[in-house]
């Protein structure tokens, strides 16, 4: 009935539409920070190719427009472009505020010189798209971006994978600070509360000259909204509820200023999350609950041409590890795979919020201080100081009751960052900087990696040249990394730390790495509709301490991982080409990449399995090879009518081990997505309503080594040598739906998103989920998200 | 008023950052490691005792086991078997056998010989009358031969039941001793 009504409204408006092309859009464009009018800002209706410049008072008028859905793009030199989607049925008066991209606290990111984020290699989640991911973890949210997949451990631990690369190969910038969590394993998820951000950006493939050259895979930016220097108090409450694991999330934010002169600002934000056991289509996953408690606070001060900002955040999580995935040894693993389903006493367990052993308890603190001072001749100095403390505890199943963890790692990081940005010249803009970082790692209980300290120094410069349709960017960086004081542990209490040989003294020596990384981008704009860019970069990553020195049991993976102390840094050479095309009907983005990584560090299965008191364990050694990753990400959108839009996305990757002439294991298979979205006309009360149906198809990963050194006996008793304990799971297709709307209540807009993933409750397993050996993936999940302004 | 606000905010944040820096206090008696398994066999008729041992002081991974004996039985003889589980990485040595016995209702030991080299019976019971296996009776085969004796300790808190297979639960121990009947 509602659909019928919607269709008739739509038909009526379509008839109506042809009749009157007399509407006008007018308003003012202002600087978001100074509130002054912007002269010479470009205002264009993309669909109609109508463009106008704002006058001396910042005003614009576009007239003779037919009713319909449009996108207005407002741009101004040095400001961040703004897109505004709207439905026009009567004259519209609208004031836009552009935030100064370079002149205020906004960070200069990635490729270097400017906020330029080459189209086609960048993906963003903001506004409506971000609202639909509220309540999910960071990794899970980022999956919406083309070319981003996840490395999953059960249903709570998601690590983002960009074009096949993850962990220490990608850089996560949390509020402009390099996130230094514990990246030792696939079951260590980023320790970030996504509610802090109002925009999540992924920059694929580019080395970050600005923050360290080791981001071979790409960069994830978690960006909060700029502080609002206003006395009036404002804020929002976000609520989210999920059916699958009966998860509830509440997040609230309040902000204001201390004075009327708009020189100070503060913000406090917090999130609480609790979820219970997740459900597959056939059974509950025992002990797969999650709890989170996060908080952040920020304050800022600015006057004339100076400013300072402090930010503190704490992230706390307790993550239950699915009971059926905790296995004792190789035999247990083989039994679990052969059974294809968890044992009855685990499978028959119902729903519960309780989190028992095994579980992880992770805490992350971030403290940031930032100051800037603008100098004569349009340049600026930024100083950023930050401290991070990451405390990770893993609680295994124990024989006797205990409050102590079986593994604890404390990682402390302190960073200092000084940047000089200059944008006086019209054609050349850029920045030069130096970073220093000190790290200290402390370990207790079960040995996994040694204690160590490290000092990293980096020097970099990045410049951008712009001339007519051409834009060229160049960035160069030198890094020096020193790992020292690498020790097993303090000799006392000796017996708490076990594993390894417990060598006393300084058995591991010191490792020093240094090298250059660089990026070059050339972008050319054929027209407003067709743009293209080409990027070439080289980057290197020094081996991580776990890759060098780990020696011990990796729980959750039930394997023994052994480091190789003589590993050398890996070096990547990447080329990336993008084409972006759009017109009234079409939007298309295509990115093609090729990365050659010399000395790619990976876990190589060793044979035979290692004998221990708890039976045989598969052993893996860190080894190096030459890898080649070739792939393509594409996105297409087609506007069928003013209300109906179709989207198609796809990513394809081939990862090859060039030394051993075989495929690399643990790489995401090809995936394709399609959806159809219908947007309703704004009603009196209900605004921005839309419904969307989509499907996602993930292919079977067939590009795995055909043989290996793992002996696998199948159900019929035939023994084969394989590269994995279980062959990759078959392809699957999932369906999902999403409905969004907003309602104005007393001038405040309440936003609602209702969505369903795995709509038909399909049973499937994903190759990138470490728990595919033990259980099915999650079944249907219906969620409701509400955003209330206060 | 303005200054006070700022002060409150700052001290609040300082407090939070101190909370995070607190180091955990550690109870050195707490350890889960089993480094050593001793199989103590007493021949029923003569009363001769022999001890066979597996020892890996640094636990899973790291250095290889320092001791891994072959169990030798005499043809047709009957033995009383007693298992000893120790953590020898500590001083004084921690006897895990006591712990396993005390929490018998959550544990079960499985003993099985390959090639029918020995028959294991008479496993002792836990408080609920289910088999535990710290002590047992072994009857050696009548003919000579070689193979293995598997000793497995399963931990299954709350789910131990009659007739459990060896595949159920979490593995705390799984050792294949070489076994020869002479």
Per-residue model confidence (pLDDT) at position B2: 46
Q: Do B61 and A560 touch (CB under 8 A)?
A: yes
Rounded CA-CA distance B139/B116 in Å is 10
Is the C-alpha dihedral spanning A659, A665, A666, A668 positive or negative? Answer: positive
Which CATH number characterizes residue B150's domain? Answer: 2.60.40
Residue B20 lies in a domain: no
Show residues of chain A in contact with B20, CB under 8 Å: 314, 363, 365, 389, 391
- Please tell me the distance in Å from A496's CA to the nearest CA on chain B: 7
- Are A328 and B100 a contacting pair at CB < 8 A? no
- Closest chain B C-alpha to A552 CA, distance in angstroms: 5
Cα–Cα nearest to A199, from A124, A97, A99, A298: A124
Tokens 């102590």 belong to residue: A404
Cα–Cα distance for residue pair A32/A517, rounded to 1 Å: 36
Rounded CA separation A137/A195 (Å): 9
What confidence score (pLDDT) does residue B9 get?
52
Residue with tokens 């999403």: A738
Chain B residues in contact with A296 (beta carbon < 8 A)? none
What is d(CA A325, CA A314) in angstroms, rounded to the nearest whole number?
29
> Does residue A335 belong to the interface with chain B, where contact is any CB pair within 8 Å?
yes
Contacts A332 to B, Cβ<8 Å? 167, 170-171
Q: Which two tokens stand for residue A446?
A: 């079960």
Residues from chain A that touch B63, judged by Cβ atoms under 8 A, are 501
Is A297 part of the contact surface with chain B (CB cutoff 8 Å)? yes
Least CB-CB distance to B167: which of A335, A363, A400?
Answer: A335
In angstroms, rounded to a whole number, what is the distance separating the alpha carbons of residues A103 and A80? Answer: 11
Give the pLDDT confidence score for residue A438 in this predicted structure.
Answer: 95
**B52 within some domain:** yes
Query: A664 with A161: CB under 8 angstroms?
Result: no
- Residue A2 DSSP SS3: helix
User: A258 — contact with chain B (CB < 8 Å)?
Assistant: yes
Report CB contact under 8 Å: A496, B28. Answer: yes
Three-state secondary structure string covering chain B = CHHHHHHHHHHHHHHHHHHHHCCCCCCCCCCCCCCEEEEEEEECCCCCEEEEEEECCCCCCCCCCCEECEEEECCCCEEEEEEEEEECCCCCCEEHHHHHHHCHHHEEEEEEEHHHCEEEECCCECCCCCECCCEEEEEECCCCEEEEEEEEEEECCCCCCCCCCCCCCEEEEEEEEEEEEC
Q: How far is B181 from chain A, CA to nearest CA, in Å?
A: 23
Instruction: Mark yes or no for CB contact B20/A391 under 8 Å.
Output: yes
Q: What total number of domains does chain B contain?
A: 1
Tens-digit pLDDT profile for residues B12-56: 555 444 444 444 444 433 456 788 999 999 999 999 999 999 988
Which residues constitute the domain of residue B33? Answer: 26-181
Chain B residue closest to A294 (CA)?
B16
Q: Measure CB to CB from residue B172 to each of A367, A399, A404 and give the nearest one.
A: A399
Nearest residue in A to B33, CA atom: A498
The answer to whether the CB atoms of B174 and A328 lie below 8 A apart is: yes
Select the residue of B37, B58, B171 nearest A499 (Cβ to Cβ).
Answer: B58
**A235-789 has CATH 2.40.170.20 classification:** yes
CA distance B117 to chain A (A): 21
Sequence-separated (6 or more) residues with CB below 8 Å from residue A674: A646, A647, A648, A649, A694, A695
* B-contacting residues in A 424-453 (Cβ below 8 Å): 444, 446-447
Task: Note the pLDDT of residue A668.
Answer: 94
Got the DSSP string for A376-393? Answer: TTTEEEEEEEEEEEEEEE
Q: What are the sequence ranges of the domains in chain A?
A: 1-101, 235-789
The reply to whether B15 falls in a domain is no
Parts of chain A with a pLDDT under 70: 1-20, 32-35, 77-80, 99-120, 205-207, 377, 400, 424-426, 488-507, 555-558
**Considering only CB atoms, which chain A residues are within 8 Å of B89?**
495, 498
Looking at the structure, give the CATH architecture of the domain made up of residues A1-101: Sandwich (2.60)
């Amino acid at each position: 009935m509602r659909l019928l009504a919607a269709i008739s409204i739509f038909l009526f408006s379509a008839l109506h539409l042809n009749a009157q092309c007399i509407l006008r859009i007018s308003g003012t464009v202002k600087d978001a920070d100074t509130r002054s009018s912007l002269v010479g800002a470009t205002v264009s209706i993309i669909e109609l190719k109508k463009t106008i410049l704002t006058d001396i008072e910042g005003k614009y008028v576009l007239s003779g427009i037919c009713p319909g859905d449009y996108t207005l793009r407002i741009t101004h030199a040095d400001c961040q472009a703004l897109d505004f989607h709207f439905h026009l049925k009567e004259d519209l008066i609208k004031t836009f505020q552009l935030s100064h991209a370079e002149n205020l606290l906004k960070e200069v990111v990635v490729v270097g010189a400017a906020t330029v984020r080459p189209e086609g290699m960048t993906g963003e989640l903001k506004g409506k798209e971000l609202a639909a991911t509220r309540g999910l973890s960071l990794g899970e949210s980022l999956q919406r971006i083309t070319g981003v997949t996840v490395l999953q451990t059960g249903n709570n631990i998601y690590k983002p994978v960009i074009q096949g690369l993850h962990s220490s190969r990608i850089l996560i910038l949390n509020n402009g600070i390099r996130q230094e969590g514990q990246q030792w394993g696939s079951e260590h998820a980023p320790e970030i509360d996504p509610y802090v951000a109002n925009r999540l950006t992924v920059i694929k493939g580019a080395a970050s000259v600005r923050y360290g050259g080791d981001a071979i895979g790409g960069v994830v930016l978690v960006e909060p909204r700029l502080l609002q220097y206003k006395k009036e108090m404002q804020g929002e409450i976000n609520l989210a509820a999920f059916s699958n694991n009966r998860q509830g999330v509440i997040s609230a934010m309040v902000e204001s200023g201390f004075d009327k002169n708009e020189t100070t600002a503060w913000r406090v934000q917090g999130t609480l999350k609790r979820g219970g056991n997740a459900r597959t289509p056939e059974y509950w996953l025992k002990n797969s609950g999650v709890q989170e408690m996060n908080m952040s606070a920020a304050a800022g001060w600015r006057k004339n041409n100076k400013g300072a900002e402090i930010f503190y955040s704490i992230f706390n999580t307790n993550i239950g590890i699915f009971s059926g995935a905790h296995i004792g040894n190789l035999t247990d693993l083989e039994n679990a795979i052969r059974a294809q389903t968890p044992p009855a006493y685990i499978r028959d367990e119902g729903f519960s919020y309780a989190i028992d052993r095994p579980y992880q308890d992770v805490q992350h603190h971030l403290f940031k201080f930032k100051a800037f001072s603008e100098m004569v001749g349009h340049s600026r100095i930024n100083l950023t100081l930050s401290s991070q403390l990451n405390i990770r505890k893993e609680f295994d199943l124990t024989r006797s009751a205990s409050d102590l963890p079986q593994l604890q790692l404390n990682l402390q990081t302190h960073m200092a960052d000084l940047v000089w940005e200059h944008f006086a010249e019209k054609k050349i803009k850029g920045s030069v900087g130096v970073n220093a970082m000190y790290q200290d790692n402390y370990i207790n209980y079960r040995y996994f990696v040694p204690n160590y300290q490290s000092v990293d120094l980096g020097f970099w410069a990045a410049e951008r040249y712009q001339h007519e349709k051409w834009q060229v960017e160049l960035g160069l960086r030198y890094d020096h990394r020193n790992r020292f004081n690498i020790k097993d542990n303090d000799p006392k209490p000796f017996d708490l730390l076990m594993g390894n040989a417990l060598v006393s003294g300084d058995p591991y020596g010191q490792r020093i790495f240094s090298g250059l990384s660089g990026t070059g981008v050339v972008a050319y704009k054929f027209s407003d509709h067709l743009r293209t860019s080409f990027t070439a970069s080289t980057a290197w990553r020094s081996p991580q301490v776990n890759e060098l020195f780990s020696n011990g049991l990796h729980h959750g993976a039930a394997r023994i991982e052994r480091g190789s102390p003589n590993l050398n840094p890996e070096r990547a050479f990447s080329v990336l080409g993008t084409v972006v095309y759009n017109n009234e009907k079409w939007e298309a983005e295509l990115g093609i990449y090729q990365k050659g990584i010399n000395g790619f560090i990976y876990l190589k299965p060793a044979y035979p399995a290692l004998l221990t008191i708890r039976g045989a364990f598969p052993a893996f050694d860190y080894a190096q090879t030459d890898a080649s990753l070739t792939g393509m990400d594409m996105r297409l959108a087609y506007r069928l009518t003013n209300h109906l839009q179709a989207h198609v996305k796809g990513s394809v990757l081939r990862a090859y081990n060039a030394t051993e002439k075989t495929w690399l294991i643990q790489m995401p298979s090809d995936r394709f997505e399609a959806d159809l979205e219908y947007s309703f006309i704004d009603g009196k009360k209900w605004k921005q309503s839309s419904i969307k149906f989509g499907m996602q198809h993930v292919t079977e990963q067939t590009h795995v080594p055909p043989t290996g050194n793992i002996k696998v006996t199948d159900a019929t008793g035939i023994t084969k040598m394989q590269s994995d304990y279980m062959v990759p799971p078959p392809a699957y297709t999932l369906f999902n739906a999403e409905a969004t709307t907003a309602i104005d209540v007393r001038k405040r807009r309440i936003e609602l998103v209702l969505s369903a993933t795995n709509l038909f409750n399909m049973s499937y397993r994903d190759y990138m989920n470490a728990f595919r050996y033990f259980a099915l993936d999650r079944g249907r999940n219906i969620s409701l998200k509400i955003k209330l302004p206060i | 008023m303005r200054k006070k606000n700022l002060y409150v905010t700052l001290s609040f944040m300082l407090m939070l950052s101190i909370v995070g820096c607190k180091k955990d206090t550690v109870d050195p008696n707490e350890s889960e490691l089993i480094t050593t398994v001793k199989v103590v066999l007493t021949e029923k008729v003569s009363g001769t005792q022999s001890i066979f041992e597996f020892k890996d002081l640094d636990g899973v991974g790291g250095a290889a086991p320092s001791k891994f004996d072959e169990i030798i039985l005499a043809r047709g003889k009957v033995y009383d078997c007693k298992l000893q589980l120790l953590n020898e990485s500590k001083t004084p040595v921690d006897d895990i056998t006591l712990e396993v016995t005390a929490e018998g209702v959550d544990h079960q030991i499985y003993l099985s010989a390959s090639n029918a080299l020995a028959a294991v019976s008479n496993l002792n019971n836990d408080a609920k009358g289910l088999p535990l296996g710290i002590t047992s009776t072994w009857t050696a085969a009548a003919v000579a031969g070689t193979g293995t004796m598997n000793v497995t300790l399963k931990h299954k808190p709350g789910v131990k039941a009659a007739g459990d297979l060896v595949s159920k639960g979490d593995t705390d121990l799984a050792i294949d001793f070489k076994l020869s009947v002479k």
